[in-house]
């Protein structure tokens, strides 16, 4: 093996990517189950700081002995108000062992670098440990602050950007009826004691494909009765009309105009109010004008898209 054959090492992964990973696993242990810092600090293993180290991807140009490892941090999800931004600075700065403490707010005098180019992200250069800083969490009663249900804000720390892969377009009460009615991220993306968070099946990425299609789908609640509170199709025909009208006009889902087409048809005063999130009045003249085309579209959706008979 040559140096040019080395891809991103485990150390590089933690420093560059682990701001959105809670730690543990490959951020703490090598492929043989050894804890990085303990293995690297043992002279018998011949690991030299920042050296090639036998071109081993777990230890190539690493500094585990000084930086520590990124242990699993439960608080990144289960502590309301967790300081993800400060933790991210700390991880990028190479303070792996201290990262959970920083996220919980037990620091002061945090200093960060000023990037010289726009592609570079700031990183922590200095901070002091201070367990008297209890604005986010008090070590004396931490158990009272830990939440079983994960708040949306904790999810957004890593999933805020709508980049197709990590999150959808919108999750605001003004544009999503589920959010407006108080549902949270984990309602559709639950997890058990194994912490395997339910996910869908995107076509633009291949992360944990073994747990694809485990999340609660639209069909689960609105057709198959998983949640009795969810309205069935017959309870809200307006959304079906608006969807079909949009498809008939050949406007894609990602267009802002698409959000308003059905609204105009239904004489809504809001141009881009988000059709899927509102029950709009339906006038008889509109029904008569598009009835045939609507029924054709619904049959096509039923057979080719949803594969669910009887809609």
Q: List CB contacts of 43: < 8 A, sequence separation 6 or more.
A: none
pLDDT at 286: 52
Q: Quote the tokens at residue 37.
A: 């810092």
Which phi and psi angles does 126 have, rounded to 5°?
-165, 145
Q: In the structure, what pLDDT confidence band is assigned to residue 276 with cuts at 50, 70 and 90? A: very low
pLDDT at 202: 72
pLDDT tens, residue by residue, 4-14: 677 789 999 99
pLDDT tens, residue by residue, 192-248: 888 999 988 776 677 788 888 888 887 788 777 888 888 776 545 545 555 555 555
Average pLDDT value for the chain: 78
pLDDT tens, residue by residue, 147-196: 999 999 999 888 876 555 566 656 788 877 888 889 999 999 999 888 99
Longest dimension (CA), the chain: 84
CA distances from residue 182 to 148, 178, 219 in whole angstroms, order as listed: 17, 7, 19
In 3D, which of 39, 68, 42, 43 has the Cα closest to residue 56? 39
Ordered alpha helix ranges (H), the chain: 10-17, 36-40, 64-67, 75-78, 84-92, 99-103, 142-145, 152-159, 177-180, 185-188, 218-222, 237-248, 256-265, 284-300
pTM: 0.71
In 3D, which of 18, 159, 153 has the Cα closest to residue 82? 153
Partner residues linked to 107 by β-bridges: 129
Residue 61: count other Cβ atoms within 10 Å of its Cβ: 16
Residue 231: count other Cβ atoms within 10 Å of its Cβ: 12
Domain ranges (residues) in the chain: 3-67, 75-142, 233-306
* Whole-number Å distance between alpha carbons of 123 and 120: 9
Q: Quote the tokens at residue 263.
A: 């609204």
In 3D, which of 215, 218, 238, 214 has the Cα closest to residue 230? 218
Cα-trace Rg, the chain? 25
Contact present, 256 and 265 (Cβ < 8 Å): no
DSSP line for 5-23: G--S-HHHHHHHHGGGS--
Tokens 């079906």: give the residue: 240
Average pLDDT of 251-269?
Answer: 40
Partner residues linked to 35 by β-bridges: 29
């Amino acid at each position: 093996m040559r140096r040019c054959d080395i891809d991103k090492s485990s150390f590089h992964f933690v420093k560059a990517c682990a701001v959105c990973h809670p730690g543990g696993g490959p951020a703490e242990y090598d492929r043989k189950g050894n804890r990085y810092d303990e293995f690297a600090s043992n002279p018998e293993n011949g690991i030299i700081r920042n050296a090639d180290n036998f071109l081993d991807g777990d230890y190539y140009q690493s500094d585990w002995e000084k930086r520590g490892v990124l242990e699993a941090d439960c608080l990144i999800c289960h502590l309301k108000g967790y300081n993800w931004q400060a933790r991210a600075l700390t991880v990028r700065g190479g303070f792996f062992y201290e990262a959970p403490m920083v996220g919980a707010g037990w620091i002061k005098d945090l200093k960060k670098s000023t990037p010289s180019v726009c592609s570079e992200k700031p990183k922590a250069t200095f901070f002091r440990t201070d367990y008297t800083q209890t604005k986010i969490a008090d070590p004396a009663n931490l158990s009272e602050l830990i939440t079983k249900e994960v708040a949306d804000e904790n999810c957004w720390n890593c999933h805020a950007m709508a980049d197709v892969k990590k999150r959808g377009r919108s999750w605001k009460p003004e544009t999503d009826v589920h959010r407006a009615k108080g549902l949270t991220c984990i309602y559709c993306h639950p997890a058990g004691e194994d912490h395997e968070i339910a996910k869908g099946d995107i076509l633009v990425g291949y992360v944990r494909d073994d747990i694809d299609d485990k999340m609660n789908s639209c069909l689960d609640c609105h057709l198959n009765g998983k949640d009795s509170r969810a309205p069935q199709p017959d309870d809200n025909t307006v959304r079906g009309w608006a969807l079909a009208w949009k498809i008939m006009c050949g406007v894609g889902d990602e267009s802002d105009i698409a959000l308003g087409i059905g609204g105009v048809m239904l004489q809504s005063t809001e141009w881009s109010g988000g059709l899927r999130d509102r029950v709009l009045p339906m006038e008889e003249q509109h029904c008569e004008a598009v009835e045939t085309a609507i029924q054709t579209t619904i049959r096509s959706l039923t057979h080719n898209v949803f594969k669910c008979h009887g809609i």
